[in-house]
Amino acid sequence: MEQKTYSLVIVGFGGMGSYHVQLIEPCEHLSVTGVYDLVDYRMELAAAKGFKAYDSLEAVLSDETVNVVLIATPNDVHKSIAIQALKSGKHVICEKPVTITSADLLDILAVAEEENRIFMVHQNRRWDEDFLIIQDIIQKKKIGETFHLESRVQGANGIPGDWRQLQAYGGGMLLDWGVHLLDQLLLLTGSKIDSVSAELSTILGTEVDDGFTSNIRFKDGLTAVIEVGTTNFIKLPRWYVKGTEGTAIIRDWDLSGEIVVNNPDVVKVEPKPIQAGQGLTKTMAPPSEESTLRLPIGKPESTKQSFYDNFVSVIEGKSEPLVKNDEVHRVLRLIETIFEAAEKQVILKGLEL
């Protein structure tokens, strides 16, 4: 029997909403058929691309030919639209952050269960190559046991000049980019979180954070620095990971980087002292070339389904979701913890997160 193709309507046709069109295109059994947006020119753009332009959300939800609603609106209305769509019998894909609070997500999930509909969050950066490389390095212990990692995204362009600068809409970099980096972090370890400290940046004077730095310690001893910045004219590395046998670095989105590890075939050779300012140091000298190996970071082959193929498989009961809602909920709880630690200017310890 021929597999069904599911009709999908995008609610919110801004930058990310319109980008979903090309992301969904390779998915054989999911088809974008319509769009709804409050902004007239976006509706005109959608119509020009051949999509049905709905004149209201109610029109979308009452259309029995629509199987899936994809929500790509500002964050503050995700919950309302999701619940309405689920109650109308639609499956739902929602952009991140799925909601501004963790409690709001639980409300959505309760409705999804009642209506027996699929609800998934588009945590797309689980498929980013840089993350998959780091995940492979850690899982295969290419630098030994990982005990510290640093994950950053930085730029100098400020916050985009729209709703992301406004608190009421769920703006700010912790919710915008932090949700990605924290989601990736929690996938890299099976350990619970023990402590969190954080500082929000407000250099730009907007009513939301323009960046943040958080130090997170896990119960297995792993420590992490997660940082997002919009005022960095010179960027720090995208990833810096330390293990008991070496160090890995990915410098930027171009995937430039390397792994330096102990050479297992050579007895350690003492480094030669180097001139450091007005003194000599052996401690801070680079390891001897004989004792170490410099390796390319490599690109692991991924057999993981795309987000959209997986979504269709989940609807049809063929697969488990690759983005699980309890994982999404944990990320939101961690974001709330970071906000609390920053506001109180304390290290929150003894967490069971």
Structure confidence by residue, pLDDT tens digits, 28-45: 999 999 999 998 989 999
Looking at the fold, whether 152 and 250 belong to one and the same domain comes out as: yes
Q: Residue 169 is part of which domain span?
A: 129-255+297-303+334-344
Looking at the domain assignment, is residue 286 inside a domain?
Answer: no
CATH code of the domain covering residue 157: 3.30.360.10
Cα separations in angstroms, 47 against 16, 35, 178, 275, 278: 17, 8, 34, 67, 69
261 touches 245 (CB < 8 A):
yes
Looking at the domain assignment, is residue 37 inside a domain?
Answer: yes
Looking at the domain assignment, is residue 260 inside a domain?
Answer: no
Answer with the one of 92, 122, 152 that is the final residue of a domain.
122
Q: One-letter amino acid identity for 197?
A: S
Q: Give me the residue label for tokens 């795309």.
A: 306
Looking at the domain assignment, is residue 292 inside a domain?
Answer: no
Looking at the domain assignment, is residue 205 inside a domain?
Answer: yes
Q: Name the pTM for this structure.
A: 0.95
Distance CA 95, CA 162 (A): 17
What is the pLDDT at residue 289? 80
Closest CA to 240 of 227, 221, 229, 230: 227
| Two structure tokens written together for 67 | 């199987």
Cα separations in angstroms, 156 against 64, 159, 212, 224: 46, 9, 14, 23
Measured in whole angstroms, how far is the alpha carbon of residue 286 from the centre of its chain?
A: 34
Closest CA to 234 of 149, 156, 178, 181: 156
Looking at the fold, whether 153 and 248 belong to one and the same domain comes out as: yes
Looking at the fold, whether 207 and 106 belong to one and the same domain comes out as: no
Strand partners, 121: 94
Looking at the fold, whether 68 and 181 belong to one and the same domain comes out as: no
Looking at the domain assignment, is residue 324 inside a domain?
Answer: no
What is the pLDDT at residue 233? 97
Looking at the fold, whether 239 and 111 belong to one and the same domain comes out as: no
Number of domains into which the chain is organized: 2
Looking at the fold, whether 220 and 95 belong to one and the same domain comes out as: no
Looking at the fold, whether 151 and 234 belong to one and the same domain comes out as: yes
Closest CA to 60 of 17, 7, 105: 7
CATH code of the domain covering residue 112: 3.40.50.720
231 touches 159 (CB < 8 A):
no
Cα separations in angstroms, 281 against 12, 275, 288: 58, 7, 14
Looking at the fold, whether 111 and 46 belong to one and the same domain comes out as: yes
221 touches 206 (CB < 8 A):
no
Looking at the domain assignment, is residue 328 inside a domain?
Answer: no
Query: Which residues have a Cβ under 8 Å from the Cβ of 224 and sit 6 or more positions away?
Result: 148, 149, 150, 151, 185, 215, 216, 217, 218
Helical residues (DSSP H) of the chain, grouped into ranges: 15-24, 40-48, 57-62, 78-87, 102-115, 129-139, 173, 179-187, 307-315, 325-344
What is the pLDDT at residue 1? 59
Query: Which residues in the chain come in under a pLDDT of 50?
Result: none
Query: Which residues have a Cβ under 8 Å from the Cβ of 67 and sit 6 or more positions away?
Result: 6, 7, 8, 90, 91
Looking at the fold, whether 160 and 53 belong to one and the same domain comes out as: no
Looking at the fold, whether 165 and 113 belong to one and the same domain comes out as: no
Q: One-letter amino acid identity for 278?
A: Q
Looking at the fold, whether 244 and 152 belong to one and the same domain comes out as: yes
Looking at the fold, whether 153 and 74 belong to one and the same domain comes out as: no
Answer with the one of 77, 107, 122 that is the final residue of a domain.
122
Answer with the one of 90, 122, 154 that is the final residue of a domain.
122
| Two structure tokens written together for 303 | 């057999």
Locate the DSSP E strands across 202-329.
211-218, 223-229, 239-243, 246-250, 257-262, 274-276, 279-281, 292-295
Looking at the domain assignment, is residue 262 inside a domain?
Answer: no
